[in-house]
A and B are shown apart, each in its own frame.
Chain A
Amino acid sequence: MEKEKDHIIPYRTFLYVLALLITLTLTSVAVTQIYLGTLTVVIALVIAAVKSSFVLRIFMHLKFENKIISIAVIAVVLVLAAVIFITFLDYLYR
């Protein structure tokens, strides 16, 4: 079995991403202290999604893997979102 070419991520990259993640975390804490109604949840989740994408793409190496794995990750998230959406069709309209 031939070895795939290993891509090595420099230490520095991880530290930059960490700094970004911490910044985003502190930002989400600050923003959610302001009362913005339903927008608060939306912003918090959007920031969480951005943080996740960095963890997925850099820490979990997806940026450098076969695109098919990234597509699968997105597909799984979409399936879960669809299930939540359809369940809400019941609860929203009772």
Chain B
Amino acid sequence: MSIGGATPVGETTHLDNAPDRLVSPWLIGVVFWSTVIAIVVLRTSGVPENPTIGTFGVIFTSIVVEALPFILLGAAVSALIAVFVSDRMLARIGRLPRALQLPAASLAGVAFPVCECGSVPVGRRLIARGVYPAAGIGFMLAAPIVNPIVLGTTWVAYEGRGVAAEMTMLRGGLGLLVAIVAGWAIGRRSGVELLRESQQQIAVDAEHRDAHGSRSQAFADHLAGDFLFMGKFLVLGAAASATIQTLVPQSIVAGVADNPVLGALALMTLAFALSLCSEADAFVAVSFTSFSLGSQLAFLVLGPVLDTKLAVLYGATFRRQFAIRVLLVAAPVALAGALLADAVL
């Protein structure tokens, strides 16, 4: 999600202006009609009756159908914040005593329903505006986990398993802990030492402000941009989950899943690779029924803090090795939390 037009809408606006790598309308038309014809041919030829295709298709589609409206909801809230809420409100945290800034900023994430892509530009702005860097990082890492939309979707996803309250509280608590520990460990440097000068982001922000007139239109543009940007990552994640559930025999999965440490590490690796939006990842996590709830918790806590798309965003926002530092702090805390959760659940 974007705050201030720094990411998805910015991305698309940036792409609008790119002089090369453009797609012909004819090609889009050919792809569209080829798809329609392929659907008709495949449907009449009985291909959907194939167990592998049918199983993959149903699982894949169900994850996307279930999660997409939540992505839209998150995009709407993010767009509201981006268009109607001044980030000066967040900068008030910078006036608090330093000892309070880190926990206060991390807890402030509860009130800001943005997922991980939106929290990065907010964190950058906070630090650039003089907030104690540890607090900026704490907010950036906590907001995608502890905000009400993410906790709400976690509740909905785990309600049927009878552990909605436990998983929601554990996710919120462990997410907060990871954010505070990472903020404390990484954010003791100055803002200048942490932040990368990002001319591109500054230009995109300005471009976005210039490109759109009314606030309502800016809201609609943010909403659509965020939704389409995050939706493609959801599709990728759903495809990976469906592939595993369709093709990997239970015996192999069980071999990893039976070991709590290996299971948690495997799902954390998957969370990194899948790059799911935190507003939808609970629906994917709950589908890994072979893995323990603790391992699923590790998936839910690490993914919003560090994944492949975040690594790219971190690289564009912070100086070198920031993503590695986050990994070195967040992964052990998430793993310990997962093992503890397995012991109590």
Q: Do A and B come from one complex?
A: no
Residue positions of A touching B, CB distance < 8 A: none
